[in-house]
Structure 1
Amino acid sequence: MILDFFRQGSAEPAVAPEQKASATGRVMAWHGSGRVAWSPRDTVTLTRTGFAGNPVGFRCVKMIAEAAAALPLVLQDCERRFSEHPLLDLVKAPNPAQGRAELFEALYGQLLLTGNAYVEAVGAGIGVPLELHVLRSDRMSVVPGADGWPIAYEYAVSGRKHRFDVSEGNPVVCHVKSFHPQDDHYGLSPLQAAAQAVDVHNSASRWSKALLDNAARPSGAIVYRGAEGQGSLTNDQYERLVSEMETHHQGARNAGRPMLLEGGLDWKPMGFSPSDMEFQKTKESAAREIALAFGVPPMLLGIPGDATFSNYQEANRAFYRLTVLPLATRVAASVATWLAGFSGEKLELRPDLDQVPALAAERDTLWSRVAKAEFLSDDEKRDLLGLPALTEEDLDG
């Protein structure tokens, strides 16, 4: 007889009154309702479960945001590259509390987590603004006009709202958003696409934690083989057995402790079922899906089973080329166009590819190939390399 310690046994089983019951009732009672429970898809919940509560999502966002924010930026127009400019000074020190890396890391983080990023210009008038601040995306809402275009942005904090009017002049708020095919005003976050994988990964982690709490092995059964005529334990024997199990054989402190059975008791361990063995593979598959949604090679996250790249260096180069650089280039271009609207200049702000260590081999190959192209002029070569043409001052110098 197998004992269930969650129910108290009795020496003499009670006689149940006669009643009608379904023949399949016992079978159906062992199954759940079959209803899948997914976490909510709002911004706050996704940030909590996919970033603050998931190591894969956390690491993906941190890797992309930190790598993109660390890229050196160059400012140039159609004629020259600037080494000194008020806009460069603003980007280098955007506000008293943040530097360039901190501001852009917050900007990229908001864009990755919510699909939207907002930058406020403080002291905007004629010329370059005095300060730049990144606003939380979950607090911002777009106010569309009659034609569908935004006329204002509302920022809500503690029940109070501040309205940024963008209907006239250069807007004081720069809205950078990811592509969303079904929304005209808000972007689509990678966490939205990876939401199901995040739920699976978190559920698998909770299952592993519960398994560790049970001495890292499945439960077993204590079988009672009493004397003839004695088919079950008495109440006192049952209470004593439960007490000894809770005191001496449960929890991580008692993991692996031998069990001493007496009085006709026998321990029957239960092995892992095939579904239990698949939990780790399911967790690794969910982790790869999360990394795929963010564009991070699983090899860089230490996820086993990924053989897309032959080595770590190749994976790191693909990470910069396919994920970091497109994101940084698009965001820098949006911010530069927005800031140039205050001064009226036509400026371009973009990452300096010559100072990216992960792309050093590619840049060396490109420079060598362009230098050997004798049919190209110097200006054409500089244009291929993303450099402005030389001015007369540069040629005279």
Structure 2
Amino acid sequence: MPSIPSFTALLTRFLGRTPAPAARPSQTKASAAGRLIALHAHGRPVWSPRDYAALAREGYERNPVAHRAVRLVAEAAAGIPWIAMQGGREVDWHPVLDLLARPNPRQSGPELMEAVCAYLLIAGNAYLEAAMIDGAVREIHALRPDRMKVVPGPDGWPEAFEYTVAGRTVSFDQTGRQPPILHIALFHPTDDHYGFGPLAAAGAALDLANASAAWNKALIDNAARPSGALVYEGEGTMALDQFERLKRELQENFQGAANAGRPLLLEGGLTWQAMGISPKEMDFLEARNQAARDIALALGVPPMLLGIPGDNTYSNYQEANRALYRETVLPLLRRIMAAIAQWLAPSFGEDIRFEPDLDAIEALSADRAALWARVSAADFLTDDEKRLAVGYGVRQG
């Protein structure tokens, strides 16, 4: 009777691999689950979620709270200078800093970083392209995330990216020494290739806020009063000419913002009967404020900085501003810095890394002064240890 192959042998045969002898284990370091991830899409592009355009339109373009929150975080992160560290020491100059300061002819360094941060907040994905000239990185460009597709390789990692505009597609091969594309993705619990944007988590709040604004606009256009009905209480039915005249007078004299509050004269057995819920009964303002707080919460911005009333956890504006930098801006920026340092390592050195210049952040000046005072008073630390404690490298030479 022939023997039944084991599950491992079947899986190995299905994946197209030849099992290595037990005495000679493979020296290749790769994820054992990567092949399983790539099985369904090896060599084929994986489409990104198609909700980016809706989030950009309904959130950033139409909702003032989401628009301001995204700009607040992106502009704050883009305005922080970068410090280059090499070999554990801060360097005064490095070619990668010049590249990031003038990444391309169309954008300055802060403009590029603002775009990257905004893409991450809206889409959860940001893509940077390295333009190579004579084998060296000369320019860096930010690419729209909704136009990019990941092409997984046999190990589950992206082996290429495809960028499509107006029906034309450019393919970027990632297998070279310097990958041309950097993909920065925020954590997504159910997607192997794409990130999850904070604005998507506020989708319900965005719908509520936008629907409230549309309802309020329609209410103002309709004489700023809830819907209702004119009830004819006379005998029989209203004549056709009477109905048409009443309809015409209502449209001309009582609808629209210019006619708001104009009294309505009823005659001939007509009475007004309200058929809607008043704004007070709907708790209209509180519902809009709660939606705004949810949007600010998803994007990591204290509501006080956006002028949203209620639930002000922070005692003053300065404390809320410090919280914005400590809890949102700096973690996002450090994530971007680490990704760029790893991406450009083949061209600029494996030991290059970046740190934000905290001394340039005015909102954190009080925190820095308190740290310097504590470190200066620590007599048991050497000068180099004190420099390291406050974020500087040891003295050179």
TM-score category, normalised to shorter length: 0.7 to 0.9
The match for 2:238 is 233
Answer yes or no: is the 8 Å Cα contact 2:303–2:312 preserved in 1.
no
Q: How does 1:65-76 map to 2 (within 5 A)?
A: 65-76=74-85
Offset, 1:50 = 1.8
- In structure 2, how many angstroms separate the alpha carbons of the residues matched to 1:112 and 1:272? 36
The match for 1:84 is 93
Answer yes or no: is the 8 Å Cα contact 1:150–1:167 preserved in 2.
no
Match for 2:191 among 183, 187, 192? 183
Offset, 1:130 = 0.9
- In structure 2, how many angstroms separate the alpha carbons of the residues matched to 1:212 and 1:368? 58
Q: SS at 1:131's partner residue? A: strand
Q: How does 1:121-132 map to 2 (within 5 A)?
A: 121-123=130-132, 126-127=135-136, 129-132=137-140
CA gap of 1:223–1:141, structure 2 versus 1, over 3 A, is: closer
**AA aligned opposite 1:105:** E
Question: What is the root-mean-square deviation in Å for CA atoms of aligned residues?
Answer: 2.0
Answer yes or no: is the 8 Å Cα contact 2:293–2:308 preserved in 1.
yes
- In structure 2, how many angstroms separate the alpha carbons of the residues matched to 1:225 and 1:155? 67
- In structure 2, how many angstroms separate the alpha carbons of the residues matched to 1:69 and 1:82? 21
How many residues are matched?
A: 349
Match for 2:143 among 111, 126, 135? 135
Answer yes or no: is the 8 Å Cα contact 2:81–2:360 preserved in 1.
yes
Match status 1:315 vs 2:320: yes
- In structure 1, how many angstroms separate the alpha carbons of the residues matched to 2:215 and 2:367? 45
The match for 1:199 is 207
The match for 2:287 is 282
User: Equivalent pairs: percent with the same residue?
Assistant: 54
> Which range is displaced more, 367-376 or 167-176?
167-176
Answer yes or no: is the 8 Å Cα contact 1:115–1:190 preserved in 2.
yes
Answer yes or no: is the 8 Å Cα contact 2:96–2:348 preserved in 1.
no
Offset, 1:53 = 2.1
Answer yes or no: is the 8 Å Cα contact 2:254–2:260 preserved in 1.
yes
Offset, 1:277 = 2.6
In the superposition, the TM-score normalised over structure 1's length comes to: 0.83
Answer yes or no: is the 8 Å Cα contact 2:125–2:186 preserved in 1.
yes
Match for 1:386 among 368, 388, 391? 391
- In structure 2, how many angstroms separate the alpha carbons of the residues matched to 1:286 and 1:52? 17
The match for 2:362 is 357
- In structure 2, how many angstroms separate the alpha carbons of the residues matched to 1:61 and 1:274? 30
The match for 1:149 is 157
Answer yes or no: is the 8 Å Cα contact 1:78–1:388 preserved in 2.
no
**AA aligned opposite 2:332:** L
Answer yes or no: is the 8 Å Cα contact 2:305–2:321 preserved in 1.
yes
- In structure 1, how many angstroms separate the alpha carbons of the residues matched to 2:174 and 2:159? 5
- In structure 1, how many angstroms separate the alpha carbons of the residues matched to 2:345 and 2:50? 36
- In structure 2, how many angstroms separate the alpha carbons of the residues matched to 1:266 and 1:165? 74
Structure 1 or 2, whichever has the larger Rg, is 1
The match for 1:368 is 373
Answer yes or no: is the 8 Å Cα contact 1:299–1:315 preserved in 2.
yes
Structure 1 unmatched runs, 5+: 1-39, 393-397
Offset, 1:160 = 1.5
